[in-house]
Amino acid sequence: MATAGIPDLICPAGSLPALKAAVDNGADAVYCGFRDATNARNFKGLNFDRAGLVEGLRYAHSHGAEVLVAINTYPQTGRVAEWQVAVDAAADLGVDALIVADIGLLAYASTRHPDLRLHLSVQGSATNHEAIEFCRREFGVRRAVLPRVLTLAQVEQLIRHTETEIEVFGFGSLCVMNEGRCWLSSHATGESPNTHGVCSPAPYVRWDEDASGLSARLNGILIDRYGPQEKAGYPTLCKGRFEVRGVVDYALEEPTSLNVLPILGDLLRIGVAAIKIEGRQRSPAYVAQVTRTMRAAINAAAADGRYQVRPQWQADLSKLAEGQQVTLGAYSKPWK
């Protein structure tokens, strides 16, 4: 755990090598998931089975770090037992906390495992202190992960009105919808990330290559065309290029990554309990670099009241950002 008054650095672990990379580079905690539909990053070839999680827990705990397990999709009708089994398995293995979105599952976990620490997932879409306080009172939720839709002032106001610890995202992909309420993938494939674990389910993704370049489709819908030398990104509808009124451009959002380095001092000042790095689908090298950079920046902000962003930190994170672009996202809304 982090030192009192300094936010925990929460890092992604989509695999055991990524978990070790996060721990080795200064993570206070890692978050991971099982290889099933209970996990909102249920990518093929990633995540943990029981043996892998046992090894991950051993490694993290031996280095003073915690392991948080995300059971953050919504149980489906007739299959609720699958999510309950995941809760029981994580508790039995001795994880440090569960990250849960569904109200019914929070009720189950708090009743069945009253000593297990519960965090409200960003997929729960709680954007006000009333919703967060409800989860604290009813289910004993100790921490809430905020969706990436609030300004810095709104986060500060929320922190003042809740006893629950507040965790915010500090680096990684953005979500253009209210997290926990995505309809784009569901519209295209019938499988939303909130219920099936990925934004673009692999069986629906098709890549077509010809002399003009590469095309990406999701269930037949053309998401983007890339030139012969153009780097292709993960094919999501929200970050595709579409023709609108004769102009081809990013209709919803350009590929870019959230980066809070410029406001890190403010996040410490208002009392956030934890800063999360997005990217359980990313490589161990990505995890290592972002963890190392954010660890250095958090330590500097906590130690020096005159905190300033070092150019090397920005350079290191910009290289790993989607489209090599960074933004403060909703934290800064200059038009207000």
Q: For the segment 18-36, what is each residue's pLDDT rounded down to a tens digit? A: 999 999 999 999 999 999 9
Contact 101, 124 (CB under 8 A): yes
Question: Residue written as tokens 């827990």?
Answer: 57
Spacing of C-alpha 156 from chain mean position: 20
Ranked by mean pLDDT, which of 46-55, 170-179, 254-263 comes out on top?
A: 46-55
Q: What is the mean pLDDT of residues 33-61?
A: 94
Average pLDDT, the chain: 93
Q: Which of 89-98, 197-206, 288-297 has the lowest mean pLDDT?
A: 197-206
From CA 84, how far away is CA 106, in angstroms rounded?
A: 10
Confidence of residue 174 (pLDDT cuts 50, 70, 90): confident
Confidence of residue 304 (pLDDT cuts 50, 70, 90): confident
The predicted-structure confidence for 100-118, as pLDDT tens digits, reads as follows 999 999 999 999 999 999 9
The predicted-structure confidence for 254-269, as pLDDT tens digits, reads as follows 888 999 999 999 999 9
- pLDDT at position 193 is 76
Q: What is the mean pLDDT of residues 185-213?
A: 86
- pLDDT at position 240 is 92
Contact 148, 173 (CB under 8 A): no
Torsion sign (Cα): 74, 77, 79, 81: positive
| Domain residue limits, the chain | 8-174+256-331, 192-250
From CA 72, how far away is CA 99, in angstroms rounded?
A: 6
- pLDDT at position 114 is 98
Question: Residue written as tokens 């692999």?
Answer: 202
- pLDDT at position 60 is 98
Nearest by Cα to 41 from 17, 18, 70: 70
The predicted-structure confidence for 111-141, as pLDDT tens digits, reads as follows 999 999 999 999 999 999 999 999 999 999 9
- pLDDT at position 122 is 95
Q: What is the mean pLDDT of residues 317-336?
A: 84
From CA 124, how far away is CA 99, in angstroms rounded?
A: 10
Spacing of C-alpha 145 from chain mean position: 9
Question: Residue written as tokens 């990554």?
Answer: 257
**8-174+256-331 in CATH: which number?**
3.20.20.70
Kindly report the pTM of this predicted structure.
Answer: 0.93
Confidence of residue 153 (pLDDT cuts 50, 70, 90): very high
Q: What is the mean pLDDT of residues 223-247?
A: 89
Contact 41, 198 (CB under 8 A): yes
Kindly report the number of other CB atoms within 10 A of residue 92's CB atom: 10
Question: Residue written as tokens 């093929």?
Answer: 44
∠ CA 155-18-97, nearest 5°, is 50
- pLDDT at position 335 is 58
Task: State yes or no: pLDDT of 195 exceeds 90.
Answer: no
Measured between alpha carbons, how far is residue 21 from residues 2, 97, 296 in Å? 18, 20, 15
From CA 151, how far away is CA 267, in angstroms rounded?
A: 11
∠ CA 292-320-148, nearest 5°, is 85
- pLDDT at position 199 is 84
Contacts 24+ apart (CB under 8 A), 214-217: 216/240
- pLDDT at position 23 is 98
